Amino acid sequence: MAVGVVGRFFARVRDALGSDAAGIRQALAALLVSSGGDLVAGLTLAGLSDQLTLLPGLLVLIPAAIGMRGNIFGALGSRLGTAIHTGTFRISRRRDTVVGQNVWASLSLTLSVSLALAVLAKVVAETFSGGEVIGLADFVVISMIGGVISSIVVLGLTLGVASLSVRRGWDLDNVAAPIVTAAGDMVTLPSLFLAALIVRLPGVTLVAAVITAALGLLAVVMSARSRLPILRRIARESLPVLIVAGTIDIIAGLALNGQYQAGPFVAFPALLILVPPFLEDTGALGSVLSARLSSKLHLGIIEPASRPQRAARVDFTIILLLALPVFTLVAISSEIAATVFQQATPGIVNMVGVALIGGLIATGVGMLVAYYGTIATYRFGLDPDNYGVPLLTASMDLVGAFSLIAAIALLRIG
């Protein structure tokens, strides 16, 4: 029995390697590049630990703010990938084009979701953290201004990757999510702490909060009532799921905030360095799967069946094959970065153990969420490109946070 199971697994591995070798190479390269970029985010987070102490409760917002960039622009990349596959992708300055409406929808969602996350983070931190928390105006200013700064950068990168994919013949489904989410991680943390400087200016915080909050509310109304059909559909379909995703991310932030206060991340800042690339890779692996499944549904390669069909199962195998080297290298590179920058570490064996144990748990859950989330949205007549990536990345931030914490506890670190 066991021999048969092993035989079928290796047969599926051969099928996966043979059926989409180029796709595997593209996805692996994108994941490794994104992991390297996320080390910058991890080092930034570890280096700003003093700022987290000065701004109590801000860590609750950070996973949601980072996740928002991946959710909004990962979904944008997924939609653009479908547009490329269906032949409707054209870069243009016109607002009424497919790309133009997608761009405006993404910017509108950035404003509205940033406002919602600020309010949610304040309520959750105030209710559950059990300590001093910065004010609502502080949360609004940091979330809105930091969100806008980082979103402009990530938007430009997403359009650039899409255009390059067309010219080079890459499959955008394989490369968009890892690169976009990594870029979001890299630019969001510095943007948030740059915005945090504003809250220290006397008399500025309240004015900035009122202005940015008004812009967020205006963005909701204008996008939801727009005469442009694609923009209106993206806004109406995406906003609810992004709010749900943001809430999930804030719960993940609350869990990390509790662990930060408890000690392991303070005792071993190398674990703090590991957090952004670990969470990014759990979400990116699931997002790659979600984007591939979404395109296959649109193209009729697979049906929205309760039991995954062969083409979907091959994609599952590809994701597992990618997970093993990705999480191993993330642990090793985090250990090296911690050593170079003289941050305390629990050791390479523990770092690899935490990354692999937590990563494989999270990846297994992520595959289920990616498949059944994509299938469910498609069956309800909704566009899985609008739902798959946000639901997946948010779920994986939460699952990844608890998987990481569980792995740390299992290995008795700290």
pLDDT tens column, 100-114: 898 899 999 999 999
Largest separation between any pair of C-alpha atoms in the chain? 71
How much is the pTM? 0.70
Strand ranges for 81-193 from DSSP E: none
Tell me whether residue 5 is exposed, middle or buried, using C-beta atoms within 10 angstroms of its C-beta: 0 to 12, 13 to 18, 19 or more: exposed
- Helices marked H in 197-228 — which ranges? 205-224
Element counts in the chain: helices (H) and strands (E): 14, 0
Residue 210: how many other CB atoms lie within 10 Å? 13
**Is residue 133 included in any domain, yes or no?**
yes
Mean pLDDT score of the chain = 81
**Is residue 404 included in any domain, yes or no?**
yes
Domain containing 102 equals: 13-410
**275 touches 352 (CB < 8 A):** no
**42 touches 268 (CB < 8 A):** no
Place of tokens 């490329």: 84
Q: How confident is the model at residue 213 (pLDDT cuts 50, 70, 90)?
A: very high
**Is residue 7 included in any domain, yes or no?**
no
Overall average pLDDT of the 116-125 stretch: 92
Residue 303: how many other CB atoms lie within 10 Å? 12
**Is residue 272 included in any domain, yes or no?**
yes
**Is residue 241 included in any domain, yes or no?**
yes
Q: How confident is the model at residue 268 (pLDDT cuts 50, 70, 90)?
A: confident
Task: Give the angle 185-187-191 at the CA atoms, nearest 5°.
Answer: 120
pLDDT the model gives residue 387: 66
**Is residue 3 included in any domain, yes or no?**
no
Residue 351: how many other CB atoms lie within 10 Å? 27
**Is residue 127 included in any domain, yes or no?**
yes
**Is residue 2 included in any domain, yes or no?**
no
Going by the DSSP 8-state scheme, the letter that residue 124 receives in this structure is: H
Task: Report the domain count for the chain.
Answer: 1
Strand ranges for 38-193 from DSSP E: none
